Structure 1
Amino acid sequence: MHASEMAEEFPVVGVDSDALEAVRLLAERRLPGIVVTDASGCPCSILPASQVVRFLVPRYVQDDPSLAGVLSESMADRVADKLAGKTVKALLPEERTELPTVNADDTIVEVAAVMARLRCPLAAVVADRDLVGVITASRLLELALAPR
């Protein structure tokens, strides 16, 4: 089976899209991440939901999780405030990481290898720089476990 056959339609957002709307999309559809495209519509990054959580938790709490106990639950109520006026670009990691892309004719093992190496819950399937679709880790597992 090739990546183009495994790929599913998946929402994408532009790098300059509203961050709050992108996070709502992640939350409402319970997505593991979302493909981010540049101005020309080409995939340029993946925004994992875990990265959004990282953006929302203050650095000092990330460095010392025991401090999380002293924060009130009202911090969770201010998520929208923290995202207001920001673009998706602000949510992306500062360190540019390799984009998890696979070619349309890659096999299930090749797709799995990319996901495993990059520790990413999804991979963008491209053909001639155009986004064909997305393969999530759960879709990959579903196909790997399907009886032949």
Structure 2
Amino acid sequence: MRAAEMAEDYPVVELDSDALAAARLLAQRRLPGLVVIDATGCPQSVLPASEVVQFLVPPYVRDDPSLAGVLNESMADRIADKLGGRRVRDLLPDEPAELPRVNADDTVVEVAAMMARLKCPLVAVMEGRTLLGVVSASRLLELALR
């Protein structure tokens, strides 16, 4: 099976998309991440759900998780407010992870190797500069375990 046959339609967001809307999309669809595209529609990076979670947690709590218990419930309820007025580009690390890309005619093993090398749950399937779809880790496992 080739990557083009494995690829599925998958939500994408632009670098300047609303960060809160992107986080809601991740949550509502229970996605491991979103493909981030530039203004021309060319995939640039992946925004992992874990990166959004990391953005929401105050740095001092990331440094010392025992401080999480100090936050009162009203503060915890407002944690998503931090996304207000932000763009997807604000959630990406200073040096965003390389977007795993495979060619439409790559095999299951080639797709798996790319995913494993970059430790990313999503691989963009490309035909030239055109995004055909995405292969997620769960889709890859589903196909490989048949």
Q: Same fold (TM over 0.5)?
A: yes
CA distances 1:89-137 after superposition (whole Å, capped 9, x unpaired): 0011112321111111111111111111111111111111111001110
Distance 1:73 1:120, change over 3 A: farther
Once the two structures are superposed, the pairs formed by residues 7-86 of structure 1 within 5 Å of their partners are 7-86=7-86
- Check whether the contact 2:46–2:97 (CA below 8 A) recurs between aligned residues: no
Partner amino acid, structure 2, of 1:116: A
**Count of residue correspondences:** 146
The root-mean-square deviation of aligned C-alpha atoms, in Å, is: 1.1
Partner amino acid, structure 1, of 2:17: S
The residue that corresponds to 1:91 in the other structure is 91
CA distances 1:31-63 after superposition (whole Å, capped 9, x unpaired): 110000001110001001011001111112112
TM-score w.r.t. the length of structure 1 is 0.94
Q: Give the unaligned 5+ runs of structure 2.
A: none
Distance 1:82 1:128 in 2: 37
Distance 2:98 2:16 in 1: 20
The residue that corresponds to 1:5 in the other structure is 5
Moved over 4 A (4+): none
Distance 1:140 1:73 in 2: 39
Q: Give the unaligned 5+ runs of structure 1.
A: none
Distance 1:145 1:113 in 2: 16
Partner amino acid, structure 2, of 1:14: E
Distance 1:69 1:124, change over 3 A: same
| Identity fraction in percent | 72
